[in-house]
Copies of this chain bind each other. A is one copy, B any other.
């Protein structure tokens, strides 16, 4: 393992995310969203079963009270609804509203437009995805 390469890769990873976030700020503000709420919105895949709070907290590397707060913001903005999981009535699942799906798709599209990663060619992107996929948490 090469320390300089590892350092550079980690720094670049961080920088790319921060820059993407920075370039996304205006678009988020247009929906009264912030990086934290967008991240949660992004983590809600419209094509999967609505995840529980517990699952979402793990997905976002945050704790339960934090997710309660973030979810409250999304509910307040009409993008998400809470529902009781019939399988376990202690559990609450996060359900995208139609507006939530719309906003999520729009912002995700914008994120892909502004991210510095968009400068890579198709082939470079495939290599990158392959490398990162080996170490990132399985989606």
A interface residues, Cβ below 8 angstroms from B:
1-3, 5-22, 39, 42, 60-61, 108, 111-112, 115-122, 124-129, 131-137, 139
Contacts and interface: CB of A to CB of B under 8 A. Distances in A.
Nearest to A4: B129
A61 B19 contact: yes
B111 A10 contact: yes
A34 to B, nearest CB: 14
A125 B1 CA distance: 8
A125 B2 contact: yes
Contacts of A39: 14
Contact of A132 (B12, B18, B129): B12
Contacts of A8: 129, 132-133, 139
